[in-house]
Amino acid sequence: MEVTVDSLVRIVRDALAEDGVTGDLTSEGVLPADALCTARLLLKEPGVVCGLEAAALVFRTVDPEVRFEVLVADGDRCDDSPTAVARVEGPARAVMTGERTALNLVGRLSGVATLTRRFVDAVEGTGVAILDTRKTTPGLRILEKYAVRCGGGRNHRYGLDDGILVKDNHLRLVGGIRTAIERIRLASPDLPVEVEAETLADVREALACGVEGILLDNMPTATMAKAVELVGGRARLEASGGVSLETVRAVAETGVDFISVGALTHSARSLDLSLEVL
């Protein structure tokens, strides 16, 4: 799902409201109303930049007179630090008021993009796609999934209404894979179905039910390799469950099609950025 103007406006307005920007007591008390300034947005460590349009909207929302010049593009990898990624000019009060919200958004999204790129680089040459999950920050999902794309990853489901994934708790509640698939085919006969499998027996049952995708949940790599051989291309295979940078290459080399990594969004560290007035 693409980031729409409406969704970006909502996120920025909520973030600014959270920071109390309508009453910046410090900036209003210290800075003359007519004071102007120029500043640089600095990335202070190597990483993949993401979120600059969100930062630009932060400053424009605080004061339309603020000018925000992007110096690099979202998705660019910056290996030198510090690197100036944007230039900000305009009323000093507005620049100071929007500073923290802009830095929070760019730092968070750049962190997600950077971690994603590390996973993508780790499986280079295998043909495996790195997927995100729904383990996102409430209210920021659309931007975090955008950051995953900027890092070279791909998006899994955006939400519960964006595809069918029958998980372990669904299976426990209805008594197994066959019953779950029969019911979902009746409810949504035209949609592809992915089902979670924890054992090779589960994989066989899922294949017998004709599912389009199988999620191999927390399987040892040796078992995954056997599942790949068993499936023989008859269904898409997604590996999931505790995959780390240290293990992702071995998982990819089993021959699965996708690897989903919740850590892309739930464990990404925000990158270090600052706003430096010139």
Where exactly are the structural domains of the chain?
5-120+269-277, 121-266
pLDDT of residue 22 exceeding 90, the answer is no
Q: Is 100 annotated in the active site? A: yes
Q: Is 272 annotated in the active site? A: no
Question: What is the average pLDDT across 72-78?
Answer: 97
Q: How far apart are CA 145 and CA 133, in angstroms?
A: 9
> Each residue of 199-213: b (16+ CB within 10 Å) or e?
eeebbebbbebebeb
| Of 44, 60, 100, 226, catalytic | 100
What confidence score (pLDDT) does residue 198 get? 96
Determine which helix (DSSP H) or strand (DSSP E) holds 101, and give its type and residue range. helix 92-122
Which CATH number is associated with domain 5-120+269-277?
3.90.1170.20
Q: How far apart are CA 181 and CA 255, in angstroms?
A: 25
pLDDT of residue 1 exceeding 80, the answer is no
Report the percent of the chain where pLDDT is more than 90.
94
- Provide the pairing of β-strand 77-78 with 47-48: antiparallel
| Of 67, 167, 183, 269, catalytic | 167
| Of 135, 185, 204, 226, catalytic | 135
Q: Is 145 annotated in the active site? A: no
pLDDT mean across residues, the chain: 96
| Of 196, 202, 238, 257, catalytic | 196
| Of 132, 144, 202, 217, catalytic | 217
Q: In CATH terms, is domain 121-266 a member of 3.40.50.2300? A: no
Query: Omega of the bond prior to 220 within 30 degrees of 0, cis?
Result: no
Q: Is 234 annotated in the active site? A: no
pTM of the entire predicted model: 0.95
pLDDT of residue 83 exceeding 80, the answer is yes
